[in-house]
Amino acid sequence: MENASKALIIAGTTIIGVMIITIFVYVFREGSKVNEAYDQKQQNNQLELYNSKFEQYNRDNNTIMDIISVCNLAFSINEASKSSIGAEKYYDNTNAIEITVKNGNTVLFKIPNTIDNTRDQIGKNQILNGSGEVKSIYLLASANIATLKDEKIDITNIHGAKENEKLSETRLANDVNKTIYKYLFKCENVSYKKINGQIESMTFSIYINNKDTYLKDNNLVEDDLRGDVKEILEEFSE
């Protein structure tokens, strides 16, 4: 009897020990799942925040100042990822971003996501024109269209474009107390990296502001378009 009692005690102790270990393993695994879920949520939040800095420009009515801003943002990210092997410099392709601005099928200027070590590199507040030449980004807002053409950033073939104007050309519509930009930039494409979901590239195309754009941006119908707003938009297309 005594041996039987001892055996029962040992068996009971063993069962209790196994149960305790099982509980600890379960709690540890569940805790790990919670931590993994939290970490994944944080990563998703960081990714959304990162992409949102660029996705705010995924629209039809960007101004030249918006384009300058998104170009400078891409350049700063690219520069932060820059490394070198000997004399060769390169961007980390898991982070680098390309911004391209076109007139139809012709590239006007861009922020590249790679480094061509055979030619001059862009620096802060600079872009590459369609010929791959380094230019000041502030030409885009300060130079007139004739000067931009000389710099091989040519939009003179767009109907309504005037060589004495700037890409920052605006008119004030007094009826609605609103500044209307003549030259706008539509985001045509946004691509994302498969490896990490980050923005990989954005492509914009230039066009002249028009009635359809204005009505869409302001949630209006054509009967709402009158007064100096209508006159300004008609002037843009002349």
Q: For residues 14 and 21, is the Cβ–Cβ distance under 8 A? A: no
Contacts of 210 (CB under 8 A, 6+ apart): 233, 236, 237
What is the model's pLDDT at position 90? 82
Nearest alpha-carbon partner for 181 in 229, 227, 138, 139: 229
Q: Is the pLDDT of residue 1 over 60?
A: no
The predicted-structure confidence for 168-215, as pLDDT tens digits, reads as follows 999 998 878 889 999 999 999 999 999 999 999 999 999 999 988 888
With pLDDT > 90 as the criterion, what percentage of the chain qualifies? Answer: 56
The predicted-structure confidence for 90-112, as pLDDT tens digits, reads as follows 888 889 999 999 999 999 999 99
Q: Is the pLDDT of residue 84 over 70?
A: yes
What is the model's pLDDT at position 72? 96
Higher pLDDT pick, 137 / 3: 137
Q: How many of the other CB atoms lie within 10 Å of CB of 55?
A: 14
First vs last C-alpha separation in the chain: 111
What is the model's pLDDT at position 136? 96
One-letter amino acid identity for 171?
R
The predicted-structure confidence for 111-156, as pLDDT tens digits, reads as follows 999 988 777 788 999 999 999 999 999 999 999 999 999 999 999 9
